Amino acid sequence: MHPQLVLWLMAAALSVTLNRICSSSTLNTISDADKIVSLPGQPNVNFGQYAGYITVDEKQERALFYYFAEAKADPASKPLVLWLNGGPGCSSIGVGAFCEHGPFKPSGGVLLKNDYSWNKEANMLYLESPVGVGFSYSVNNTYYNSVDDEMTARDNLAFLHKWFKKFPVYKERDLFITGESYAGHYVPQLAMLIVQSKLFKLKGIAIGNPLLEFNTDFNSRAEFFWSHGLISDATYESFNTICNYSQIRRQAQSGTLTPVCSRVASEASREISKYIDTYGVTLDVCLSTISSQSAALNKLQETEKIDVCIEDETVKYLNRKEVQEALHARLVGISTWTVCSDVLRYKMQNLDIPTITILGELVKSGIHVLVYSGDQDSAIPLLGTRTLVNKLAKQLELNTTVPYRVWFEQRQVAGWTQVYGDILSYATVRGASHEAPFSQPERSLVLFSSFLGGRPLPEGLLSESAIDKHN
């Protein structure tokens, strides 16, 4: 064996050994200042938590805020997963961490354990991006006036570069980037920068209900509404012949909504009503306390408990001074933490940038891509997303390696899936909203675990022993 190869193998073995013995207690001392002792109202846990700032531009004093929850067990053996929420301009910590798949969920001033937290499977890094979202800030607040996709991707790459200096034990770890909604832009664009720079060990990306191509995604809304009985035949016909959803969205964004498009939009809104959550058409909406009590008294059938007011609880929690102190967070240039930014002025023309083509480039580069849809979301419906992924697979000439079929979570159908070339996957999450882990946490965790492990989604009923092991 060549002497250099022997030395390389010895170094690699030593690196693996060091990775295995390193845990939250032995991370580089640079990260100690960001370690969370305990969050107010938090139950006892045995995994490390960190939060703080990474300055991505010293001159402009621009800093991104993060929250990091190490894996619940054996973090040294598990990958690193970055999570980005969309908007553009909404908080990954407020939505992803505290409403969806973080280790805790706020309830009545305390934190409850989330039994389906994604840090069961990975070391989870939540980033408030771009600058101006949540606790992230720029001292030069004129920066907020024209933020775009390119600036966001560049800042996110700078964040990762500096974050790995603070947490060097994770730099050689397998990296996955995940997100939802407008993260259909953030995630692929950041992933492409990483591929081009060859800085980190990016293995795959997963994006839920993502904006990938403006016309296809938005025009599929009318068919979704109509097929779910939310609008009439006549209104559906108006969308197809008078003014479609992509026209309405573009005109509304630019402040040029025409009378004819306004009439179509108004009629659809009237029929759908304000009592339907268009991000999850089968979910109840968060009502006032009195209305909620009345609704509870009149409910005739018991259903799975989903706290549809969790966002309100999160806003209250993250605005508590002692919570901000525990997170090492501060409010800069704002008086209140909000789920979606009140100061950021994102270039909404960026919505028109197709990112489905970037997914194709990532696949060609050997990056595994999972696109999934909560099937009860009308904001970015599965109809458009599935069409786009199927079209991409044909363009890339990828053979179907897993034919369209159901997948299971325990003893129930959890959704449908199709895999192309063992590198591009599409899946639906049955009964899930725009934020799939919020409304279907168990099914979303199975999807996430399978993706990280490179396994096909379960294709049959699990045995009792398998169910016990999963739980």
Encoded amino acid at 368, one letter: H
What pLDDT is attached to residue 3?
37
- Burial call 371-394: b when 16+ CB within 10 Å, e when fewer: bbbbbbbbbbbbbbbbebbbebbe
Residue 65 lies in a domain: yes
* 81: enclosing H helix or E strand: strand 80-84
C-alpha–C-alpha distance, residues 174 and 182, integer Å: 24
| Statement to judge: residues 181 and 261 lie in one domain | no
Which sign, positive or negative, has the C-alpha torsion 226, 441, 83, 311? positive
Question: Is residue 320 in some structural domain?
Answer: no
Note whether 124 and 174 are same-domain residues.
Answer: yes
Told to judge if 101 belongs to the known catalytic residues of this protein, a careful annotator would answer no
Model pLDDT, residue 305: 63
Residues whose CB is less than 8 angstroms from the CB of residue 94 and which lie 6 or more positions away in sequence, other chains included: 134, 311, 314, 315, 318, 337, 339
Are both 209 and 142 inside the same structural domain?
yes
**Is 303 within a domain?**
no
Verify that 141 and 38 share a domain, yes or no. yes
Residue 45, pLDDT score = 95
Catalytic site includes residue 434: yes
Are 199 and 223 found together in one domain?
no
Residues 58, 148 within the same domain:
yes
Domain extent for 195: 29-214+346-470
For residues 281, 95, 122, 10, the Cα torsion angle rounded to the nearest 10 degrees is 130
From 92, 181, 238, 425, active-site residue: 181
Per-residue pLDDT tens listing for the chain (471 residues): 333 333 332 333 333 333 433 444 445 556 789 999 999 999 999 999 999 999 999 988 999 999 999 999 999 999 999 999 999 999 999 999 999 999 999 998 899 999 999 999 999 999 999 999 999 999 999 999 999 999 999 999 999 999 999 999 999 999 999 999 999 999 999 999 999 999 899 999 999 999 999 999 999 999 999 999 999 999 999 999 999 999 999 999 889 999 999 999 999 999 999 899 999 998 888 865 444 333 433 433 334 467 778 899 999 999 999 999 999 999 999 999 999 999 999 999 999 999 999 999 999 999 999 999 999 999 999 999 999 999 999 999 999 999 999 999 998 999 999 999 999 999 999 999 999 999 999 999 999 999 999 999 999 875 444 445 445
208, 232: one domain: no
Q: Are strands 202-208 and 175-180 parallel, antiparallel or unpaired?
A: parallel
Q: What is the CATH number of the domain that holds 123?
A: 3.40.50.1820
Together in a domain, 280 and 404: no
- Is the pTM for the entire model greater than 0.85? yes
Are residue 409 and residue 394 in the same domain, yes or no? yes
Residue 136 bears catalytic tag: no
Catalytic residue of the set 434, 439, 444, 450: 434
Task: Indicate the SS3 state at residue 199.
Answer: coil
Q: How many domains does the chain have?
A: 2
Q: Which of 377, 425, 433, 444 is catalytic?
A: 377
Residues 403 and 350 in one domain: yes
Same domain for 250 and 350: no
Are residues 167 and 271 both part of a single domain?
no
